[in-house]
Amino acid sequence: MNSTPEPTLFSLGEKGFIGALLPGLYRDPRLVSGFGHDASVIELDGAPFDLIQKIDRASYPVSLKNGWSGYRSWGRMAITANCSDILASGGTPVSCMIAVMLPGDELAANAADIVAGAAEECRRNGVVFAGGDTKEARDPHVVGTAAGIIERGAFLPRDTAEPGDVLFCAGRFGGFGGAFFLLQHEHAGPDWVRYLSHPVAQWDAARLVNRHRLARCGMDASDGLLDVLRSLASGGAGVRLDLAAMPYHPFAVECARRTPVPLTQLLFAGGDWNIVYSVPKDGADELARLAAAAGAPLFRIGEVIADPGAVLAVDGDGRHFELRGVVNEHFKNRIEDATSFMDHIAHGDFLHPSRP
Q: State yes or no: 56 annotated in a binding site.
A: yes
Number of residues that make up the chain: 356
Q: Which CATH class is domain 166-354?
A: alpha beta
pLDDT at 66: 87
Map out the domains of the chain as residue ranges: 9-151, 166-354
Q: State yes or no: 222 annotated in a binding site.
A: yes
Task: Say which CATH architecture domain 9-151 belongs to.
Answer: 2-Layer Sandwich (3.30)
Q: State yes or no: 133 annotated in a binding site.
A: yes
Q: State yes or no: 272 annotated in a binding site.
A: no
Residues with Cβ within 8 Å of residue 346, at least 6 apart in sequence: 181, 260, 261, 265
Pairing of strands 298-305, 128-136: unpaired
pLDDT at 277: 98
Q: State yes or no: 113 annotated in a binding site.
A: no
pLDDT at 337: 60
Q: How far apart are CA 304 and CA 168, in angstroms?
A: 11
Q: How far apart are CA 280 and CA 220, in angstroms?
A: 19
| Beta bridge partner(s), residue 351 | 323
Q: State yes or no: 38 annotated in a binding site.
A: yes
Q: State yes or no: 158 annotated in a binding site.
A: yes
For 311, the enclosing helix (H) or strand (E) is: strand 311-314
Is the torsion defined by CA of 201, 202, 207, 213 positive or negative? Answer: negative
Q: State yes or no: 148 annotated in a binding site.
A: no
The predicted model scores a pTM of 0.92
Q: State yes or no: 223 annotated in a binding site.
A: yes
pLDDT at 143: 97
Q: How far apart are CA 218 and CA 169, in angstroms?
A: 9
pLDDT at 284: 97
Per-residue pLDDT for the chain (356 aa), expressed as one digit of tens each? 457 788 887 787 777 887 788 888 888 899 987 887 889 999 999 899 999 999 999 989 989 988 899 999 999 999 999 999 999 999 999 999 999 999 999 999 999 999 999 999 999 999 999 999 999 999 999 999 999 999 999 999 998 999 999 999 999 999 999 999 999 887 778 999 999 999 999 999 999 999 999 999 999 999 889 999 999 998 889 999 999 999 999 999 999 999 999 999 999 998 999 999 999 999 999 999 999 999 999 999 999 999 999 999 999 999 999 999 877 666 556 666 656 788 888 888 899 998 77
Burial profile 84-106: b = 16 or more Cβ within 10 angstroms, e = fewer: bbbbbbbbbbbebbbbbbbeeeb
